[in-house]
Structure 1
């Protein structure tokens, strides 16, 4: 039986594990974190992306834990209504907290897949018979194939392809997400505010005692320690300390939070997603960044990768077919995500006013259909093959 090692137990990794096991492969998933990562911002599915959930029989489970998020209102510094961003734009057709989705996928695969938490791959040595894998803690092992599903800062990509800086493109913005008490009393709704070069959005859905806070600001590449949360807080406080609306209160919450996520809005661009017996999937391969439909496409990519490995006589042909099928959708997602930073943090006061005008117009009845098409077009670029015969 072909033995496959997957790095990453968030979204793409467990999805790949599910389909690989369906096709008869022996699968091990290694995850650096000591346990499943809880929390995180919500992720959504729309258009054809829902098909992967149907194929896995997960729609009911995800609907049961969905945010059922409503519209987001754009406001001015005094909190007055400026425009409405429909839930279809911000939350798709089905939205769920990332941690909840990860847990569902883990529960869906834990009985058929070997999971190793609290460890990571430190070296890969390929030879004619497979790949010798060295771990930070566990004993060395040999696998037939290795799949990197370990996110935009992929360790597998660094080991097999080279340093992250060679493949990452900065999109000109940084983003942060954390939670605070819901002092605005939001109920399955959100508020969005911007000043030139900075933007904030707050939402509350499942837990009405808490609000999720998204902060976005424009900046050239910054020098900072990706693991230093206190440094991240200082950077954010410096950028937003003079901002109006609810930012003073939100920064007080930032100082106390232990849920902060902070990173650049960037994209991973590789000429090829595989090298020998190693392949990448999801953000490790094509990270589009926020707004690029990454979660649905990561799951679709994992499905196609597993299916092609089952249908092709060799991994070279399988990896090439997988990339041929998924790359157009990944490119479309990257094109769409380039606009995300400027949407949340328009560069000028004029651009902020223009954003409000655009959504006031798009919310009129004659243009509702156009708006739906615009937000779903990237998700609808994927047409999933049927691998029933292989399974």
Structure 2
């Protein structure tokens, strides 16, 4: 542990070593002055691109002011944890594209096939903070993982974990974009780690591949058109003009990441937490319609999928089923029967989507 003339404590390598032992891939340290990002945040909110995510606007500029969120904060430790499951074969992107082309199978985003990442990261971030406190003495800190108004990508970029890709996700030359981010707000003047330059160049792959045109310009995402937003965050009816583009996606969307050339460097996670559960490997739409709410809750225990609830799950399942019927398949009669049977007990939201699905083929 060294200290510079400015009073900053350099624990970079020590932090990195401790973090890797906890399953993290990389650690950075950022300053708390994010004022340069405020104009972009305001413009994004004023355009309404946050959709129903009212919490994005509710906290105002506190998201860009770490010291207001947690008084006394002078640095933010940023952490990256890879989530591509261990045992994932080479050419995994091609396999994912093949699954998207199977209309009678549901598709769940890669990150959601194992244990809820919030639980995994938060516990390990807390352990890292405790270890840091053991080195420094009393330490004021708060641990965050997608759980508070935090400009995660901005902090990750400033601390050198990667750069903001044109799809707005963090990209790393060493690890692509298949990783989670977490933060520890601290009151200790740690030495900051340098940012890295962007390396997207002229590539437009993520923009071109987006099924709904949600990436309206490089580095600018309209969440209201994003399939991840529509299948997870959006509470009401999915807009009809966007339903066909959802295909068989039931929870989230990986298309922009599948198309990104940098994900040839995506790293496998050593943690068993992200190994896919059997229900999400190649789920049949017919089998999924057989779940009642108790079955859904049982199968999604400890999974991020549970957070959308049974009603949104069935809404998404109805959209995927309608898209499958539109394609035509030997199993279409059985799927129509499952939809018809489910409609009798459906909520108004689900019933509307089932009616739409039945009208597709």
**TM-score with structure 1 setting the length:** 0.26
**TM-score with structure 2 setting the length:** 0.27
| Greater share of residues in helix | 2
| Greater share of residues in strand | 1
